[in-house]
Chain A
Amino acid sequence: MLEINDIQRDYITEVLNISMGSAASVLSEMVNEEVALSVPEIDFLQRNIAANKFDQTSESKMSGVTQSMSGALSGDALLMFPEEKTLSIVRILLGESVSVENLTEMEQEAMCEIGNIILNAVVSSVANILEQEIVSSLPRFIKGTGKEIYAVDAGNEDLVMFIKVDFGLESQSINGYVTMMLNVDSLQNFMTQLDEQIHAI
């Protein structure tokens, strides 16, 4: 099974944190408020375990944004939050109070844009490590249980790259989770390139 060692973990984290920094400054400017983004944790997990990471149980509702990737890597990139956290973000960034059911098209679109900025930052970090191009699609709003979103029922035990993202907003900090769902070849390719880069240092 594919595993990640401490050196690899540190390297990816550092590259991600650099692009998260620029994503954060874009977000801060957009919402006229200090937004800090950081990556405290990164791991390779099986889908079913990733699905459980959210709230001990894969039955809890979550929502977020997804976009697909093609080119050097193919798969999907997701930014997910426990459902009530999505609301906190929309509430803080848009200054509105709504419930998930009432997230209007406009607010979903705003959430998509926030996710788009963060996912593009992650995807471009990965592309930098690969030194190859990754084409990303437009973001899409999704919600469901961890089980549904990670397609656990399909018996899919693929590994995913699981990145915890810390959103520092106003007085509170909210944890979101970026998942890179890659096919096995893409993941292997990524790890090989990663090692080459580390050796080159």
Chain B
Amino acid sequence: MPSDGKRNSRCTAMQESDHLFEKVLDLSENGLFLIDSERKIVLWNEWMVKASSIERDEAIGFTFSEVFPALAGKRVASVINAALDSRTASLLSRSLNKAIFPLFFAGGNGEKHRIEQSVTVKPIRSNGDDYCLVQITDVTSMVQREEVLKVLAKEAEEALHAAEDVSRFKSEFTSTVSHELRTPLTSIRGSLGLVSSGVMGALQPEVNKLIDIAYSNTERLLFLINDILDIDKIESGNMSFVMEAVDLMPLLKQAIEANQPYGDQYQVHYCLKEEVAQGIKVHADRDRLMQVFNNLLSNAAKFSSENSDVEINVIQKGGMVRVEVKDSGIGIPLKFQSRIFEKFSQADGSDTRKVGGTGLGLSISKAIMEMMKGAIGFATEEGKGTTFYIDLCLYDAEKVT
């Protein structure tokens, strides 16, 4: 038998630990109450007192339905019964159960706001007795935050849709207008060509000069429209490629020959220096590759100084072939180098008239090279000239089949 003194000290220790336990519960940021198997409330923490305005002595010792008469027969009452009778734990979410308990917090201006709640109900067994612990979490701020987030997400989505609509409209508009312009321009060019060739009778030199100006400007417009249509195709992902084995040197020589008359306008001579063997094949779309050659060769002529050579070198490196086009022009200013492949970019806006072109060519060439799994790049020195190069994949019959 323990002496009275010992028993007393043990009682005191237990009382102290109970006291501490209660303090901890009162400090909890959640509402907590405990129900015994008789459905009587045996614990009611400070959070519950504040939120429900039900004092401890009004709750403890009373049954759940006496304290919350309005909740009798509701889901929360049945899950409490389930926890006590069959020891199941339950969750009552705030989305599916609006404001389960009548709990409020006081707003700044004395107003009372209903607390949004998430409730858990858990069975506890202690010394053979069954209890049910009800925990209430205030999710009001979370609910508000989620509502704000939902509104924001919805607005962002609408803005995105609106932007997509505008962009689609713009591109459809560009495409339609360009197509509509191309047809009449093609017939204007045809007619002008016929007139200037003298089929309709000899022309006076003055008239001939005017016709030539009209013809070359019509041609320029057609180039611009074709470039715009290409950009549109690239951006909408509708540019189609027929990849095949392309014999590189004959195609390049054909491109040089075709561009020489254009070079002559600038008194520039294309000069093929280094070349690879006839029969070297690259993996490419013949027409698109020709388009890139035309772009690089005509650019080189445009930006070269008069009476100079544009040097073309073809070098094989591993599985790649590099084609270089080297001009002796003014070079590309440093601040413009990063934008060189962007749409409508020419180093000097005022230069456009003099050198012609749309500022779309390099952007199109870059897209084409990427689609053909190749690359495009340049090296430049201001005042000395620029070398543009493209890298093409060697045609590897094995890999392709």
Contact = CB atoms under 8 A, between A and B. Distances in A.
Contacts of B92: 113
Interface centre among B90, B92, B96, B123 (most CB of A within 10 A): B96
Given A67-B89, A71-B87, A104-B146, A120 B82 contact: yes
Contacts of B118: 109
A195 B123 CA distance: 30
Nearest to B97: A30
A138 B96 CA distance: 16
Interface footprint category on B = 20 to 34
Contact of B87 (A26, A29, A31, A134): A134
A138 B122 CA distance: 8
B89 A105 contact: no
B120 interface: yes
Contact of A135 (B97, B123, B149): B123
Contacts of A29: 75
A116 B96 contact: no
B87 A110 contact: no
Contact of B120 (A106, A117, A138): A138
A93 B95 CA distance: 10
B142 A93 contact: no
Contacts of A110: 93, 95-96
A131 to B, nearest CB: 12
Given A138-B120, A138-B122, A107 B89 contact: no
Interface string B108-128: 000000000010101100000
A112 B91 contact: yes
A102 interface: yes
A110 B93 CA distance: 5
A25 to B, nearest CB: 11
Contacts of A105: 142, 146
Contact of B91 (A30, A107, A116): A116
A145 interface: no
B313 interface: no
A124 interface: yes
Contacts of B166: none
Interface string B46-86: 00000000000000000000000000000100100010001
Contacts, number: 71
B124 to A, nearest CB: 10
Interface residues of A, number: 31
Contact of A124 (B75, B86, B95, B149): B86
Interface string B299-339: 00000000000000000000000000000000000000000
B96 A136 contact: no
B125 to A, nearest CB: 8
Interface string B128-157: 000000000001001100100100010000
The B contact surface, by secondary structure, is mixed
Given A30-B97, A110-B95, A137 B89 contact: yes
A114 B91 CA distance: 9
Contact of B94 (A102, A106, A137, A139): A106
A184 interface: no
Interface centre among A93, A105, A134 (most CB of B within 10 A): A105
A149 interface: no
Contacts of B87: 71, 133-136
Contacts of A137: 89
A196 B97 CA distance: 41
Given A30-B75, A93-B96, A138 B91 contact: yes
Nearest to A22: B78
Contacts of A116: 89-91
Interface string A116-142: 110010011001000001111111000
A136 B143 contact: no
B88 interface: yes
Given A30-B96, A31-B96, A114-B96, A106 B143 contact: yes
Contacts of B75: 26, 29-30
Contact of B88 (A93, A94, A104, A123): A123
Nearest to A133: B87
Nearest to A108: B93
A137 B122 CA distance: 8
Nearest to B116: A106
A71 B89 CA distance: 13
A136 B91 contact: no
Contacts of B142: 105-106
Contacts of B97: 30, 113
Contacts of B120: 138
B93 A112 contact: yes
Interface centre among B75, B82, B87 (most CB of A within 10 A): B87
B386 to A, nearest CB: 47
19 contacts: A30-B97, A102-B153, A106-B139, A106-B142, A106-B146, A109-B94, A109-B95, A110-B96, A113-B93, A116-B90, A120-B90, A124-B82, A136-B87, A136-B88, A137-B89, A138-B89, A138-B90, A138-B91, A139-B91
Interface of A: 26, 29-31, 67, 71, 93-94, 102, 104-107, 109-110, 112-114, 116-117, 120, 123-124, 127, 133-139
Given A106-B93, A133-B86, 5 more contacts: A109-B95, A110-B96, A113-B92, A136-B88, A138-B91
